[in-house]
Amino acid sequence: MSDSSASPLRSPEDEELLAKSSRIRLWVTKRMKELEDQNERLRAQNLRCTTQLQMLRSFTEKSRKIKAEMEMSRSITGTLPVLRDENRTSDDSGLTSDDADRKQMSVSISECTPRVQRKAARTMLKNTSQGSSTSESSPCEDEAKPMPLPRRIHPTATERDSLNSYAEDYEYDIEESSFERHEEQVRNENEKYVDYVNLHEFVAIKDDKVVYSEIVKHRSTEKEYLPALPSHQPRQWENRLIQAAEKCLSVIDGADSEGTSTGPSVSPYHVSDVSRISSNNRTESPGSRKSSKLSRNSSPRVPSHHSYEDGAAYAIRDLCLGSDYYLPPDASSRCSGGTPTSRTSLIPSRETMEKSGYWTQLTDSRIKSLKRRYVVFKNGQISFYRKHNNRDEEPASKISISDIRSVTKLEQQGAAYAFQLITSTDKMNFMTESERTTHDWVTILSAAIKATTLREMASRVTPIDASISGWLTRVKCGLSKKVFAALVNQKLMFFKNSNDLVPNGFLCLQGAQISEKHNGTEEYSGSSDEQLETTKEHPNQRKNNDSLCVQIANEDPVYLILRTSEDKEKWLYYLKSASGTAALCGTPFEILVQRMMAENVANDSPLWKDLLFASGEEIPKDTMTSVDHSDRKKTLEIARACQLFVSVLMRAQATQYHIDLAQNILSTAVQQEYLRNEVYSQLIKMTSGSMPFGLQGWKLLALTIPLFLPKQYSLLWLLKRHISRWVDLPNESDETRMAIFCESALDRCLRVGGRQEGPSRLEVTSVLTRDVTRTKFPHSISVKLPNSEYQIVEFDGSTEIGQCLSSLCLKLGMRPALLSGYALYMNDPMTHSLLLLKGKQKLCDALSTWETRSRDAQRGRVISDCAAALSLRMRHYWGHLALTETPIERQFLVWRASEEIVNGRIPLSNQLCESLAALYAQMVFGDANQSLSDQQFEFISQRFYPSKMLDVACIKSLRLQINSNWSELIGMSENECVRVILQVLGKWPLFGSDLHEASMRTDNERKIYLALNDHSVSLLDRRHFDVIRTIPYSSLSTFGQFQQDFMLTIIRPLTPGSHPDEAPKERLTFSMQKNEIEQLTLHLAEYIRCQKLVWKVSK
């Protein structure tokens, strides 16, 4: 066989290479087909997005037209504006408006469009057909029920494009797609929503040694993991109980509501937040709206502290770096990379100020001739020459501009062109040739003094050493401004912030007239650039009289408005000292105090041994302080009462005399301010060591300090020095320990303020009969808990209700009061109801008020063994925070639910009541015995069974049924019983609501319940517990008492096609008792004010 006819043979390598190439070609072909399919899908999706974008533009155009028509309709029908609190009117009924959330409610109503209403109607229709269910999760999880208001959050950057409208059938889909980003954001935010809030960050009440983190320190690792599913298998009886609860407690689903979905689990928190964002973004550009939205999403809890000036500086810097324009010299510094120095524009430049002319020096002596000198002002110095030709010689005298305190014109006869230079050592009067020349000299010298002062302040490295400093309101020419003032030497400087080094203005007080202003601030503060800040109200504060007047020659007066009368007295003393007008005046005792204060005497000074301090006079014959002639008799009586209290020995068997005397002295001094200085003067004198029973004087002083402080600052200074002098004594005694206690009480009173009522019997008895120096809190009282147990709470004379409640929550292991919803109540001795105690109220004031009402109820009789009863009760229930409840809170909630069950305020069937009673019995008594004792059955039936059903029930069968159900619960722990009870009662959508009885005026006096919860007001039929109507808080305009009834004013958005005479508001009137109206109004206002705050804090 020849070689040419033979077929070629392939090697194994060639076969493998051929197979690989075949597989590659097959993979490439398949991949190309996949890419073609993907491109086809992308083209289809792009086409759909383009269509939706065009329809969205059409929707925007139509919404803008409808909004314009609605605004025109409002202008015709006269809709009441409710956008700002200060412009809010009470309509024509005099209702009590909500002070905290009216702005957001009005915004959320005014933004509703007809399409929004159609969308809400579709949502309600859908929920009614499918059946609503109660959700115990946070409001962020309601994805299937998009709310109408968040549509305003999307920026409408395409409003300029004008496209044709599309069919109405597509509008629903467009609106659904516009919510996708918002729902995704809500889901992302909900993933990090767990755990508690730091008490130090969000609660204004602080405890000294207890930290809130002690409660939640073991929960730090729970943030990263979801709670595990329960490992137990539901028992058969538990399944039956849950099914019965669902059947019994779910009968009110599908109730009518005001523009939202029907179930009360829908929370308005995101509606309020989105409406607020929408209202803020209306006046911004699309870019700014986008950036603000991103900043809110990135850090929702970090407020923005950038001011407008900072933003302008960065804008100028970007413009300078990114453009080709020429930079002006004064803008180059702002375009640099470094941070600009604060207030650099207020610091004058070092440009040379020069002026020259002839001055004639004026003297008081007629013998001396007038000296005419040629004066040259240059380089910060005033040089005096004999003549103009002597300028090249050495000047006769020099005055540095830094030594001059002030320059003022003289308005006196014979000196029309005169002015005065005031230095630290002398006053010199000069006169020029004309009035114009005098004016020029005064102007340039004043500017030089100001420039020198500002340069000195700007060059300082350390903070200024001020005699006194603080925040106040400066009023001049009818304009007010809140500033931080500091008195340095004889200059009163004003700063914008407390940490600024360069002032924005100052006053030279040398020779100025300082006086008190006794009229209201309205006389000289006609307009203001900001609201005057109000502080805690207590008797030591007089809002209209705490002001001073600084009158400088030939200038408009400047008024300084202080916060309290103590601040006014303190500033008055230092300002008078700086102006040089302070003079010793008053009674001999007051002159001695002023002298001691001026000399700043030491503790071993002989002035402390003056007869005015160490006099052993038996009965005072004259007052120690200055009082009016008409008040002198009453003041002398108080002085003699103080003398009598200290001079008579208090025996252990007869303390009632001193208790009554101390109450009378201090209660009278609290009501009459002019007596306070006299009381402190007498007590300082009696505790100086000259009285035989001086310890009694120290105890009376310890009772006085928490009530009020001296009115005069000099007397307050003397009180501080007197107490510190006794504290510094080397030998320890009872008086020294009482001085330490009084020093602590004085510090607390200076921080939190005085009181409104006199001391209670409990307070006086604790101080006079016990050694209060061994404890920080000398008083104690028991608080009844929801489970009928008691907890002892300690406090002092300055403890507020909020501090006491915070301390109680920490001891019990509860969340802060804002999140847990608990508050303190006190029994009313007159109406036998419960009175809410407000957070800023002093606990001792509440006890004093209770004693006064108890005395009035007993017609003047005082019962020694009768005391006020405090109780801890739930005020607000936040359903979206149920997962963060502590075990003790869940137990308290179960006991609170038992009260509602007994009162018949939860719709339950007979079977469900018997099962719940058995669960409560297992929780309280443990495992059941073979037979139910009479005491146990009486306790269970009275505490856990509805009273109305008990009256008509067969006691024997009820007892057997409860015992039978109880026997099935053997082995259940207390926590498991609590869990099952809350699971059963949680099936009722209105669980946790506060019910108020009322009658509807517009429905033939129909008996109803007004149910308040964390997001709405529901009207319930009192007999069948059917929901008549649900009104979200965002729909409320006003609420409160109208004549003798309670009224709710509801805002209804009008459609463009509505009748012109149709009212935009609806009023619902309910007949209630007067005290119920007051409690309901306060409770409703608290819910509206706290709902957004709780939602933000709980994130």
DSSP letters of 290-321? HHHHHHHHH-TTS-----HHHHHHHHHHHHHH
Place of tokens 């114009």: 436
pLDDT attached to residue 234: 60
Angle ∠(224,229,235) on CA atoms, nearest 5? 160
Distance between CA atoms of residues 193 and 882, nearest Å = 12
Distance between CA atoms of residues 812 and 808, nearest Å = 6
pLDDT band of 63, cuts 50, 70, 90: confident
pLDDT band of 510, cuts 50, 70, 90: confident
The CA–CA distances, whole Å, from 586 to 580, 589, 624, 673, 714 equal 18, 8, 10, 18, 12
Domain boundaries, the chain: 31-205+265-279+989-1099, 355-458, 468-579, 588-774, 779-876, 904-985
Distance between CA atoms of residues 896 and 474, nearest Å = 53
Q: Which tens digit of pLDDT belongs to each residue from 988-1016?
A: 999 999 999 999 988 788 999 999 999 89
The CA–CA distances, whole Å, from 345 to 453, 455, 770 equal 15, 12, 63
Q: Which amino acid is at 984?
A: V
- Domain with residues 468-579, CATH architecture: Roll (2.30)
Contact 986, 883 (CB under 8 A): no
Asked if 779-876 and 904-985 have one fold, the answer is no
**Fold designation for 31-205+265-279+989-1099:** PH-domain like (2.30.29)
Contact 638, 668 (CB under 8 A): yes
Q: Which tens digit of pLDDT belongs to each residue from 830-857?
A: 888 899 999 899 999 999 999 988 888 8
The secondary structure of the chain in percent helix, strand, coil, rounded to multiples of 5, reads 45, 15, 40
Q: What is the CATH number of domain 355-458?
A: 2.30.29.30
Distance between CA atoms of residues 479 and 493, nearest Å = 18
Higher pLDDT, 754 or 169: 754
Distance between CA atoms of residues 1015 and 218, nearest Å = 32
pLDDT attached to residue 250: 66
Mean pLDDT of 364-369: 52
Closest CA to 238 of 985, 987, 986, 980: 980
Cβ within 8 Å of residue 851, ≥6 positions away: 760, 761, 868
Q: Which tens digit of pLDDT belongs to each residue from 117-133?
A: 444 444 443 444 444 33
Q: Which tens digit of pLDDT belongs to each residue from 865-915?
A: 678 899 999 999 999 899 999 999 999 999 999 999 999 999 999 999 999
Distance between CA atoms of residues 504 and 496, nearest Å = 7
Average pLDDT value for the chain: 74
pLDDT attached to residue 393: 80
Q: Which tens digit of pLDDT belongs to each residue from 721-733?
A: 999 999 998 888 8
**pLDDT at 194 > cutoff 90:** no
Q: Which tens digit of pLDDT belongs to each residue from 587-616?
A: 888 889 988 888 888 888 888 888 888 776
**Which class does domain 904-985 fall in?**
mainly alpha
Q: Which amino acid is at 987?
A: K
**Fold designation for 779-876:** Ubiquitin-like (UB roll) (3.10.20)
**Which class does domain 588-774 fall in?**
mainly alpha
pLDDT band of 157, cuts 50, 70, 90: very low
Contact 445, 401 (CB under 8 A): yes
pLDDT attached to residue 678: 93
pLDDT attached to residue 324: 35
Cα(first)–Cα(last) distance of the chain, in Å? 94
Q: Which tens digit of pLDDT belongs to each residue from 291-326?
A: 333 333 333 333 333 333 333 333 323 333 333 333
Distance between CA atoms of residues 84 and 101, nearest Å = 10
**pLDDT at 521 > cutoff 80:** no
Can you give the pTM of this predicted structure?
Answer: 0.63
3-state secondary structure of 499: coil
pLDDT attached to residue 347: 47
Higher pLDDT, 771 or 110: 771
Q: Is 1004 left (phi over 0), alpha (psi -120 to 50) or beta?
A: left
pLDDT attached to residue 997: 93
pLDDT band of 707, cuts 50, 70, 90: very high
Cβ within 8 Å of residue 906, ≥6 positions away: 249, 897, 900, 985, 988, 991
Q: Which tens digit of pLDDT belongs to each residue from 411-462?
A: 655 556 788 888 877 788 888 888 888 888 888 888 888 787 777 776 666 6
pLDDT attached to residue 100: 38
Distance between CA atoms of residues 409 and 428, nearest Å = 12
Angle subtended by helix axes 694-704 and 734-752, to nearest 10: 10
Radius of gyration in angstroms for the set of CA atoms belonging to the chain, rounded to a whole number: 39
Mean pLDDT of 483-493: 88
